[in-house]
Amino acid sequence: MDPKEFLMIPGPTPVPDEVLLEMARHPLGHRTKEFSKIFMAATAALKKLAACEDEVFILTSSGTGAMEAAIANTLSPGDEVLSLVCGVFGERWAKIAEAYGCKVERVVVPAGQPITLDLLRKRLQEDKGRLFKAVTVTHNETSTGVINDLQQLSLAIREHGALCIADTVTSFGAVPISFSAWGVDVMVAGSQKALMLPPGLAVVFCGERALQAYETSKCPKFYFDFGRYRKSLESETTPFTPNVSMILALKSSLDMIQQEGIVAIGSRHERMKKALRAGLTGMGLKLFVPESCASPTITAALPPASLSVDAIRRTMKERYQIRLADGQEELKNKIFRVGHMGYVFERDILMTLAALETCLHLLGYRCPSGIGVGSALTEIAALTGSPAK
């Protein structure tokens, strides 16, 4: 028998059984009261989870589609955009804005580092003419495992007057976010991350200033046109046939999230991050990102000097059916990434560390037996005050 594949990658992520069962239901008609009820409940739960006072649109697409929607609905060709880039997904904002004819300036920091408030403030202060129409921000950079301080960055952008357009694809549902209070204008989330669903749905939160910007935006759009989604919401539906199965599943996962509570979920992810980082360091591996900006959902580490990323990932897969992710683009073969978001718990971290230690041993790397799990347990005990020392 094949042991079940286990995804410790930054999406798709493990999906709870109750959510999978919703996926397996016969689809409802999308123009029925029954569907509208579930759809509106999911919409309300998303707004509550994001502390969003304005609009939320559920799109049938992956997160990139929602990123494109965020640009195409608020900007016009020729608009000046500042893109804060600390990895592949920060760069994606810039590429999308360029595809729509915006003039994009990038603030780039080396991979593994965050976008600091000072760096942003400095650039915004130089913009005396207030030419930047929007600033794009990546909350949690999936390619490096860095989390930026979205709250601080967003408030600084609001002070300048530009729109804050944020990617929270790999943080939403794992990290408490206050969309309206933080002054974020457009925010994008995806289903296959901490929302504990398969890929195929995306979510866009849209504040009042973004809705105003929509009115004058000249980028072409149709399938992702916010105006159509907003109008359809008045009759409790979507403008185009949505993925009804996934909206049922979304309602189910949002119920689970509400039950645990986003504060408790945030603590769980913090704990998993710290346990995993302690375990990896305990085994002698080098972490790619400093503690101060380490993502609670993705941890990147360097392989021991003697081993390749490929060998570690392959051994983990062959021996334990645990999937880890490679680095992306220029970080390919340089780091490996462990995803720990959504339906992932401490025991999964311990299992992953135990499996990784075995694989490192098998590949000839030497570290004391049990040091990875041991270090993680010590960290957890320190965090929780539990007696296990």
Q: What is the DSSP letter of 331?
A: G
Q: Please identify, using beta-carbon distances, which residue of 25 and 286 lies nearer to a copy of itself.
A: 25
Q: Please identify, using beta-carbon distances, which residue of 11 and 145 lies nearer to a copy of itself.
A: 11
Give the shortest CB-298-to-a copy of itself separation in angstroms: 15
CA atoms within 13 A on the CB side of 126: 6
Residues in Cβ contact with 373 at an 8 Å cutoff, skipping those fewer than 6 apart: 279, 350, 353, 354, 357
User: Which own/partner contact pairs does 208-215 have at CB distance under 8 Å and 24+ positions apart?
Assistant: 208/54, 209/163, 209/185, 210/73, 210/74, 210/163, 210/185, 210/186, 211/54, 211/55, 213/73, 213/74, 213/75, 213/133, 213/163, 213/185, 214/73, 214/74
Give the shortest CB-28-to-a copy of itself separation in angstroms: 7
Q: Please identify, using beta-carbon distances, which residue of 25 and 319 lies nearer to a copy of itself.
A: 25
Q: Please identify, using beta-carbon distances, which residue of 159 and 329 lies nearer to a copy of itself.
A: 329
In whole angstroms, what is the distance from residue 333 CA to residue 330 CA?
8
Contacting residues toward a copy of itself, per CB under 8 A: 4-5, 7, 9, 11-12, 14-15, 20-21, 23-32, 34, 60-65, 67-68, 72, 77, 95-96, 99-101, 190, 192, 198-200, 219-223, 225, 240-246, 323, 325
Q: Please identify, using beta-carbon distances, which residue of 48 and 314 lies nearer to a copy of itself.
A: 314
Q: Please identify, using beta-carbon distances, which residue of 9 and 206 lies nearer to a copy of itself.
A: 9
Give the shortest CB-59-to-a copy of itself separation in angstroms: 8
Give the shortest CB-197-to-a copy of itself separation in angstroms: 9
**End-to-end CA gap in the chain:** 36
* Three-state helix/strand/coil letters over 7-73: ECCCCCCCCCHHHHHHHCCCCCCCCCHHHHHHHHHHHHHHHHHHCCCCEEEEECCCHHHHHHHHHHH
